Amino acid sequence: MASSSTFNPHPPPPKPSSTHFPKTPPLLAHTLQTPPKTLTHQDPKLIITGGATLSGHVPISGSKNSALPILAATLCCSGQTKLKNVPNLFDTRSMLSILESLGAEVEVFGGEVVVSTDGVRSVEPCEGEIGKIRGGFLVIGPLLGRFGEAVVGLPGGCDIGARPVDLHIRGLRALGASVDCRDGKVIAHASNGKGLVGGRFRLDYPSVGATETLMMAACMADGMTVLSNVAQEPEVIDLAHFLMDTGACVEGAGTDKLLIKGRRKLHDSEYSIIPDRIEAGTFMLAAAITRSCITMSPIVPSHLSCLINKLVTAGCKISQCTPDALEGLSVVEESVFENRMNHVTEMQKFGPRIQVRGSTALVFGKDSGRLYGSRVAASDLRGGVSLVLAGLAAQGTTEVNGIAHIDRGYENFEMKLRLLGADVKRLTIPP
């Protein structure tokens, strides 16, 4: 186990990133001509002329919410880890920069990423990069598990409400870590001066991020760890499968209890990220709202079962053409983030009848009448996408500002829409 003196608590600024994503994925290179999207001081917007019928096939990218924890988990592994189907997004590029700031070597070839962590010499990632994305905080688990210490800034991301890290901290303490918060950072080290130890911890709430953090930390702790009331999402299962592929011992992924037997060393691996179920669901909704018929792949139908059931109930026809493809022609409650309904004010500009009562939105479908194009602004990732979908179905022209939020979670979104026949244009207005 490396001692504290092995690491520089104030590492020099990271060298310029050698990470390079191609301008377009090979599958779309014949159609897509613009460079990858980044968050800049410019103000990107989408101009949508609604009413077009969508048709054709759309390729689904790898899952952002799987890629981020798995990229963090490469810190658990010795040697080189090769990941396939990594989406080219602002968030994934930020995570790669975080890994590089720790001393990892990163190479990117299309949708494949190779990470070597044998050169990691710091346990304090670049604070500026950590502050950009929520997922950056996930590195605290593997850093503590492998090196016995970590200094990680508090996370950033969409402004959809408080997303505290108290479950992460309490869980790490249950694994033998001493954790303090000061100056906007979480400072942690193994209390015994050696490494984490197995323990038992029950999450107050099945937080995905806390489950992932504790799973990664426990994989390298000494002894058996039992985590209960954990998250069961497909992205959590994907992380567990990756860790098992590197030699970790994880049982119970997909249930509410994880049994993890720690190992002191995990080896290199080659692993493919699952398709993004949220992107697939977005395009299913785009087809439904425009009364269109499209196909999409790759997808995992079981990851979309809840949405499929709701769309079928609403009258959509959905069939499975191949094992990984789909074809598709209310009271909405938010139970996690208190600001998630903020975008409803913008949605009302299209003319629908929506009433928000606390964390619940009442949508009066047939009474809403037609939707009409409007000028709206995205304030977060998923709410911003809903404004784009409304614009597709609205009469006239819609202008959606704040597209940088959408770029964080959707690879070549408007270009994929254009492949399906939507009239969508991106404009970037200098400040």
Catalogue the active-site residues. 158
Q: Does an H or E element contain 391, and which?
A: helix 381-393
* Nearest CA among 408, 424, 418, 427 for reference residue 36: 408
Which amino acid appears at position 165 of this protein?
Answer: V
Q: In angstroms, what CA-CA distances link 397 with 177, 230, 303?
A: 55, 44, 34
Q: Give the CB-side neighbour count of residue 154, counting CA atoms within 13 A.
A: 11
Classify each residue of 324-342 as buried b or exposed e, where b means 16 or more C-beta atoms within 10 Å of its C-beta.
ebbbbbeeeebeebebbbb
Three-state secondary structure call for residue 99: helix
Three-state secondary structure call for residue 419: helix
Q: In angstroms, what CA-CA distances link 321 with 280, 298, 327, 330, 345?
A: 15, 11, 7, 29, 38
Distance CA 134, CA 123 (A): 18
The gap between the terminal CA atoms of the chain, to the nearest Å, is 50
Three-state secondary structure call for residue 201: strand
Q: In angstroms, what CA-CA distances link 190 with 46, 145, 177, 180?
A: 49, 9, 4, 12
Distance CA 19, CA 54 (A): 35
